[in-house]
Structure 1
């Protein structure tokens, strides 16, 4: 099993199969627009621009589970990121990452990153690095600046599938 076995909803509620990202290095992040870590959107966007033409994607999943820091509709959240931080990577529909209603993708990510910061997501901007085969390679805490992941991204991009 890999992330390619999952289908998620985009901002408009359309089904998006994650197998469209086959062969790419992916960073999956649960985000919020009213969080102390929200300025990381700028660094995420800069990281995306640096590597997108080399086969890198960022998948943004807003989550309102931590202090209700992602209020608003899916469209409002996406618009905020695009206007304030000029994001061009894909923002998906708001999801739960923990608990009974956790999105199946996040259940998979947590289950396959045991030993990498524990099982539950502790806060917004937890990051999962995915290899070209759709496997979880590493998990990063919210306070990890996206650029600190650069060398791992480069290593994964250099590997053959």
Structure 2
């Protein structure tokens, strides 16, 4: 059986990172974009990471340009934007597809494990969030409009 720890992803600097590096942590995996109406959620994601990180919580950001071409930059531009505009310190990864034939296998697994509204699998927009427990089980999907602060109690329950 496949688990989240079977996947790898390239980080924003191009280094291959096994997701198993985060074994035993509660994860919030988010598809991000720099030019989206939801981009200010970086503040809330960073706040969660800074406030709960010492307890074993990690946000993993995955930029995607699939929704309204709202992430047009390359990895260097994305990393610079995230640092300068939102002081992002949580791990960011290379730009990926989250839907379609070229979708990241990690996101295919997350979508299958936690279907959306009415059982839909496709991600509808930027800043869809997936909560993963310490055992590597995808436990819940959150819609893009759900502010990160509203996830705090569910994250804390897993910590």
What TM-score, normalized to structure 2? Answer: 0.96
The 5 Å alignment of 1:33-44 reads: 33-44=34-45
Please give the root-mean-square deviation of Cα atoms over the aligned residues, in Å: 0.7
Deviation of the 1:80 alpha carbon = 0.3
Q: Secondary structure at the match of 2:76?
A: helix
Instruction: Give the secondary-structure state (helix, strand or coil) at the position aligned to 1:90.
Output: coil
Please say if residues 2 and 133 of structure 1, whose CA atoms lie closer than 8 Å, have aligned partners that are also in contact: no
Q: Secondary structure of the residue that 2:114 maps to in structure 1? A: coil
**2:30 alignment partner in structure 1:** 29
> For 1:24-73, what per-residue CA distance to the aligned partner results, in whole angstroms no more than 9, with x for missing partners?
00000000000000000011111111100000000000000000000111
Question: For 1:28, what is the secondary structure of its paired residue?
Answer: strand
Residue 143 of structure 1 corresponds to 145
Provide Cα deviations, 1:65-98, integer angstroms capped at 9, x if missing partner.
Answer: 0000001111110110111000100010000000
Q: CA deviation at 1:106?
A: 0.4
**In structure 1, what is the Cα distance between the partners aligned to 2:60 and 2:157?**
19
The count of residues paired between Structure 1 and Structure 2 equals 156
- 1:12-161 → structure 2 map (5 Å cutoff): 12-114=13-115, 116-117=116-117, 118-157=120-159
TM-score, reference length from structure 1: 0.95
Shift of 1:2: 1.6
Tell me the distance in 2 between the aligned counterparts of 1:52 and 1:84: 21
Instruction: Structure 1: give runs of 5+ residues left out of the alignment.
Output: none
Q: Following superposition, which runs of at least 4 residues in structure 1 exceed 3 angstroms of deviation?
A: none
Q: Which runs of 5+ in 2 are unaligned?
A: none
Cα distance in 1, alignment partners of residues 13 and 63 from structure 2: 14
